[in-house]
Amino acid sequence: MTARATTTWISGPVLRAATDAGFLMREAVAVGEQRLLGEVIRVARNEITVQVYEDTSGLRPGDPVEGSGRLLSIRLGPGILGHIFDGLLRPIDVDIGDLDSAWVRPGMREASPSRFRFRPRVDVGDRLAPGGIVGEVSAPDSVPDAADDDDGSAGGRRLHQRCLVPPDAAPGEVIELADAGIIAEDAAICTLRTDDGREYDIALSHHWPVRLPRPAAKRLPADEPMLTGQRILDCLFPIARGGTASIPGGFGTGKTVLLETVAKWCDADVIVYVGCGERGNELAGLLAEFLELDDPRTGRPLLDRTVVIANTSNMPVSAREASIYTGITVAEYFRDQGLDVALMADSTSRWAEALREVSGRLGELPGEGGYPAYLSSRLADFYERAARVETLAGERGSVSIMGAVSPPSGDFSEPVTNHTRRYVDCLWALDVRRAQARFYPAIHPLTSYSNSAAGLARWWHSEGCTRWETLRRRFLTLLEDEARLERMARIIGRDAMPVRQRLTLICAQLINQAFLRQSAFSDIDRYATPQRQAVMMRLIGSFIDAGDKLLEQGVPPEHISDAPTFRAIMRMGEEIPEGDWERFSELDRELSGTVRRLAEEHVRST
């Protein structure tokens, strides 16, 4: 029997209702005649408090609240890939040019099921455990047997999904099984009989409560990088698969461009992009680009392996609060199929503001900055769901999280930035001055960090970049020295500085301009493979060594920076494309030649 209550009080997205029925905490409810979607967020003796995920205008005391008997859940299935949803995974019907006016029909629950090609991987009589693989799922127009040699990754082909036994279901024996063929997402494909004789059906899709982390067999160490194609990230502040990064930055410093660039080029199988409280037209631009962009991994539009969750600034504020959990639940669903997932959230500050607004309506005691006292633990709950795991089916999958933070007036000491810092592995701090100088990505090399670098050195080593860790440290040290010396240079002037310090400034300039600077809009440089990054890193390393050597021989550092080779290395990012290793080698040879020539000239002149 469904529980019922009667609305007594409404304030924005929050309402109270009188009841003597037993509602569950976090139960999904239908509110009013329009059956608006809500969630029970507080249960008292004769009253429940409900957070409504739609516009509550027009509701009034007396309106009915009807329970559903289950926790607020979303339906996870193959149909979500390549689509755009609101914060509760309800499909947004959208003309992409017009996201600002996109809306979800009031009371709308979930996407209507679509059809997929299913191919069983078990037989009648087999035993299946929770999270076990029932079969392969692909688009209905895909080649029927293409799944044969597919390992689940997107390697050059269309992504094949899996149908799994829901992780919270009981183990059992397969007693009925659909044949390979095309089938609706919600139709039964398999019936299991549990040990105690119960029978239940499995479909291609299943429901899962958004706030409940999906189980995995175990967490795996973070020793594989999630490559972003951005040199400053992959080489200086790398994120591991299953890792977390926070991107704080004031208005216009490049948070959105950075998240989008990483979404486009990172080596994840699936992208979950949560547009949270930011402008609708920005997200519309992203969608248009993702539709156009041919994905290098599959040769199809990038949008095909992306899930967009949109709660732009014009949509109800409480759905924004849920969107973060919806996003991470969707990400875990793909992780459980043995895929690597990257989740981008832009911006977690807008999410925290939604939390603050709802908390205020509830009359909770405000903490720092007006945010509720549980802000910190909510942030922890979110970031802790990032992981690289062994799935229940014994495969490997991961969810990596990157969240933008927009601190008001760029002040990084505010609560959201501050608390987030405690829970992430990497901080990619955007710097207003770098952005103003149009130095992109405007990630500041001294205020940013990565706690994952040590664990990833071995991976770079195995890829043949044996000096990765050494060069990384060298670069960071030079950049630190630069900051100190720049101050001195401003006081006493560069010319008055000792040669060693002048050389440091030249090397740091090279690292900044030739390596860290990378335009998201350059056809050649918007993305760099680890091979290209390693070659560039080595070349700059050779320059630094050459500078040291010449200095020992008494050659002034300006002789090196005036040489054409220096300028050529400076421009290599924009000029030498992926795969043109010969030109990189040529540059290396030129550098050795220049060093020899400068040394000889110097000997002759003294």
Q: Which residues bind ligand ADP (CB under 6 A)?
A: 249, 251-258, 261, 440-441, 519-521
166 binds, among ligand ADP, Mg ion, none (CB under 5 to 8 A by kind): none
Nearer to ligand ADP, 204 or 232 (CB): 232
What minimum distance in Å lies between the beta carbon of 414 and Mg ion?
Answer: 17
Place of tokens 């002034």: 556
What minimum distance in Å lies between the beta carbon of 425 and ligand ADP?
Answer: 21
**How far apart (Å, rounded) are the C-alpha atoms in residues 352 and 119?**
43
257 binds, among ligand ADP, Mg ion, none (CB under 5 to 8 A by kind): ligand ADP
**How far apart (Å, rounded) are the C-alpha atoms in residues 131 and 148?**
21
Report whether 330 contacts 270 (CB < 8 A). Answer: no
What minimum distance in Å lies between the beta carbon of 519 and ligand ADP?
Answer: 5
367 binds, among Mg ion, ligand ADP, none (CB under 5 to 8 A by kind): none
**How far apart (Å, rounded) are the C-alpha atoms in residues 93 and 517?**
39
Side chain identity, residue 141: D
**How far apart (Å, rounded) are the C-alpha atoms in residues 422 and 379?**
9
466 binds, among ligand ADP, Mg ion, none (CB under 5 to 8 A by kind): none
Nearest Cα residue to 322 out of 17, 35, 37: 37
Nearer to Mg ion, 258 or 392 (CB): 258
SS3 96: helix
Nearer to Mg ion, 275 or 557 (CB): 275
Nearer to ligand ADP, 215 or 252 (CB): 252
CB-side neighbour CA atoms (13 Å) of 522: 20
Instruction: DSSP letter for 216, please.
Output: -
Phi/psi at 126 (nearest 5 deg)?
-70, 155
Nearer to ligand ADP, 345 or 520 (CB): 520
What minimum distance in Å lies between the beta carbon of 218 and ligand ADP?
Answer: 37
Q: Tell which phi-psi region holds residue 75, choosing left (phi > 0), alpha (psi between -120 and 50) or beta.
A: beta
What minimum distance in Å lies between the beta carbon of 429 and Mg ion?
Answer: 15
Q: Which residues contact 587 (CB under 8 A, 6 or more apart)?
A: 539, 565, 568, 569, 572, 576
Q: How far is CA 61 from CA 56, 64, 110, 447, in A?
A: 12, 9, 27, 52
441 binds, among ligand ADP, Mg ion, none (CB under 5 to 8 A by kind): ligand ADP
249 binds, among ligand ADP, Mg ion, none (CB under 5 to 8 A by kind): ligand ADP
Query: Looking at beta carbons, which residue is closest to ligand ADP?
Result: 254
Q: Which residue stretches of 242-316 are H helix?
A: 255-265, 280-292
**How far apart (Å, rounded) are the C-alpha atoms in residues 187 and 203?**
5
What minimum distance in Å lies between the beta carbon of 471 and ligand ADP?
Answer: 23
Nearer to Mg ion, 256 or 311 (CB): 256
What minimum distance in Å lies between the beta carbon of 84 and Mg ion?
Answer: 18
Neighbours of 215 (CB within 10 A): 14
Q: Which residue stretches of 304-431 are H helix?
A: 317-335, 348-361, 375-383, 415-423
Nearer to ligand ADP, 61 or 577 (CB): 577
Choices 188-196, 255-263, 412-420, 450-458 (CB under 5 A): range interacting with Mg ion: 255-263
453 binds, among Mg ion, ligand ADP, none (CB under 5 to 8 A by kind): none
**How far apart (Å, rounded) are the C-alpha atoms in residues 200 and 286?**
41
379 binds, among ligand ADP, Mg ion, none (CB under 5 to 8 A by kind): none
Phi/psi at 519 (nearest 5 deg)?
-80, 135
519 binds, among ligand ADP, Mg ion, none (CB under 5 to 8 A by kind): ligand ADP
What minimum distance in Å lies between the beta carbon of 409 and ligand ADP?
Answer: 13
What minimum distance in Å lies between the beta carbon of 512 and ligand ADP?
Answer: 14
Nearer to ligand ADP, 258 or 599 (CB): 258
According to the binding rule CB under 5 A, does residue 348 interact with Mg ion?
Answer: no
Phi/psi at 64 (nearest 5 deg)?
-80, 150
253 binds, among ligand ADP, Mg ion, none (CB under 5 to 8 A by kind): ligand ADP
Nearest Cα residue to 41 out of 52, 33, 32, 31: 52
What minimum distance in Å lies between the beta carbon of 243 and ligand ADP?
Answer: 21
424 binds, among ligand ADP, Mg ion, none (CB under 5 to 8 A by kind): none
Query: Looking at beta carbons, which residue is closest to Mg ion?
Result: 256
**How far apart (Å, rounded) are the C-alpha atoms in residues 271 and 340?**
9
Element (H, E) at 510: helix 499-510
**How far apart (Å, rounded) are the C-alpha atoms in residues 269 and 156?**
11
Nearer to ligand ADP, 232 or 478 (CB): 232
Strand ranges (DSSP E) for 432-513? 449-450
CA angle 87, 92, 93 (to 5 degrees): 175
Nearer to Mg ion, 277 or 397 (CB): 277
Q: How many residues bind Mg ion (CB under 5 A)?
A: 2
Nearer to ligand ADP, 83 or 279 (CB): 279
According to the binding rule CB under 5 A, does residue 256 interact with Mg ion?
Answer: yes
Q: Which residue stretches of 115-268 are H helix?
A: 231, 255-265
Nearest Cα residue to 474 out of 572, 559, 548: 548
What minimum distance in Å lies between the beta carbon of 265 and ligand ADP?
Answer: 12
Choices 21-29, 73-81, 254-262, 394-402 (CB under 5 A): range interacting with Mg ion: 254-262
What minimum distance in Å lies between the beta carbon of 526 and ligand ADP?
Answer: 8
Nearer to ligand ADP, 241 or 264 (CB): 264
Report whether 269 contacts 341 (CB < 8 A). Answer: yes
403 binds, among Mg ion, ligand ADP, none (CB under 5 to 8 A by kind): none
Report whether 343 contacts 331 (CB < 8 A). Answer: yes
171 binds, among ligand ADP, Mg ion, none (CB under 5 to 8 A by kind): none
Nearer to ligand ADP, 361 or 517 (CB): 517
What minimum distance in Å lies between the beta carbon of 535 and ligand ADP?
Answer: 21
Nearer to ligand ADP, 526 or 559 (CB): 526
Token pair, residue 586, equals 């040529």
Neighbours of 150 (CB within 10 A): 16
What minimum distance in Å lies between the beta carbon of 301 and ligand ADP?
Answer: 22
**How far apart (Å, rounded) are the C-alpha atoms in residues 53 and 316?**
7
508 binds, among Mg ion, ligand ADP, none (CB under 5 to 8 A by kind): none
Residues that bind Mg ion (CB under 5 A): 255-256
